[in-house]
Structure 1
């Protein structure tokens, strides 16, 4: 379990290296500045940003082979999408966010971090053009059943889903239709002993 800022930073560095750490340092600086203007993350978490936000996002790479495009739904403050883009410059990452101030923030962060592999879709998910996603992630976006229904058209038989769900992970998987819930399982978060990550692979049909 990652329990300190030092452990979190080392964990991320082992997964990605110095260039990614430099980009993430920029993200953290920009996040602290922007958080004074809009509530991107809880202020109390800024003191443990590597553990609570960066490593919490980075761990998703160990549950899914990164492939393009990586769709991050409801990106908000940029977690996990900006972290994934910073750590894996070889894949394309699409941040989907509808709130104007959050969209502006994401675009500034992408520019500051010089993320040429990352684009921001500033619109509701329902209005985003369909693509075949390699990976779909979402952190605090919607209940699992609704999330899957909204994003089904982006999934294929090869799509990997990595969905941090906190304490409700197992409960939300159990609430899915019995004939399809075995598509997903829950992994223990490395940054929070009480949190789970819903992981799956395959195409979800909103009509099934």
Structure 2
């Protein structure tokens, strides 16, 4: 378990292999977050002294939730991105991957767009929208940090997924329970990885064929054209 800011930064360098440029982008993201949090409540103030552990590493650990070399290439969708976690942190770590950040609050999306520009992240697309109103397209990876209960999240966003899409969903203590309680109609291969930042939390990881199996997936595909 990662318990200190120094341990968080060491893990990023030593385990994830983040280079000096990547660490500089993450450090700048931390500065931007702390400054903006004086104007709008992006994250709980009590977490700011532990920003590397609680927010940056908590996001970056998603890249280590699958075996090395098996992370899908292609666009990443982060739903309900809020303060940019995990999506903006992922974009800073993988500046060549297109990352779409979606939030329904204009103050948040305005700040996300400014921050992406400040960090020089041309790979970021910030979208002001409810998930229900997003145009349909498929993504290689979908993330959402405590955005909605799993069943509701899938109902809202399964249309963005294919059977090859990887879902990475940071959750709290109820992660395993949410997977266990998922209706049998969802044809999925989800499991829970232990969070590196919270002994009570987990990350739901896996793939989804769709509701009621292949028939539902084909219907979603037709809807997307």
Give the TM-score normalised by structure 2: 0.88
Structure 2 residue runs of 5 or longer lacking an equivalent are 218-225
Q: Which moved more, 1:107-116 or 1:8-17?
A: 8-17
- Is contact 1:69–1:94 with CA below 8 Å preserved after alignment? yes
Q: What is residue 26 of structure 2 aligned with on the other side?
A: 24
Q: Give 2:35's aligned residue.
A: 33
Q: Distance in 1 between matches of 2:186 and 2:146?
A: 22
CA 1:155–1:200 in structure 2 vs 1: closer, same or farther (change >3 Å)? same
Structure 1: gaps of 5 or more residues: none
Task: Give the CA deviation at 1:125.
Answer: 1.1
Is the 1:173–1:181 contact (alpha carbons within 8 Å) kept by the matching residues of 2?
A: no
Structure 1 residue aligned with 2:7: 7
Deviation at 1:157, TM superposition (A): 0.9
Deviation of 1:174 after TM superposition, in Å, equals 1.1
The 2-side partners of 1:2 and 1:193 are apart by 10
Classify the secondary structure of the residue corresponding to 1:94: strand
Report the CA distance between 1:17 and its aligned residue. 1.2
Q: 2:145: which partner in 1?
A: 139
Aligned equivalent of 2:183: 177
Describe the superposition over 1:101-143 as per-residue Cα deviations: whole angstroms up to 9, x where unpaired. Answer: 1111111111111101111011111111111110000002111
Contact 1:75 1:95 survives alignment (8 Å): yes
Report the number of matched residues.
Answer: 208
Aligned to 1:200: 206
Deviation at 1:66, TM superposition (A): 4.5
Work out whether residues 164 and 196 of structure 1, in 8 Å CA contact, stay in contact via their aligned partners in 2. yes
Q: Does 1:50 align with 2:56?
A: no
Measured in 1, the distance between the counterparts of 2:24 and 2:32 equals 13
Cα deviation for residue 74 of structure 1 reads: 0.3
| C-alpha contact (below 8 Å) 2:188/2:209 kept by paired residues | no
What is aligned with 1:159? 165
Question: Equivalent of 1:100, from 106, 110, 113?
Answer: 106
Q: Is the 8 A contact 2:188 2:210 kept in 1?
A: no
CA deviations on 1:132-179 (whole Å, 9 max, x unpaired) are 110000002111110011001000010000101110101111111135
Question: Contact (CA 8 Å) 2:188, 2:208: kept in 1 or not?
Answer: no
**Counterpart Cα distance in 2 of 1:180 and 1:123:** 26
* Partner Cα separation in structure 2 for residue 203 and residue 9 of structure 1: 36
Residue 131 of structure 2 corresponds to residue 125 of structure 1: yes
What TM-score, normalized by structure 1, do the two folds share? 0.95
Q: Hey, what does 2:90 align to over in structure 1?
A: 84
Q: How large is the Cα RMSD of the aligned pairs?
A: 1.5
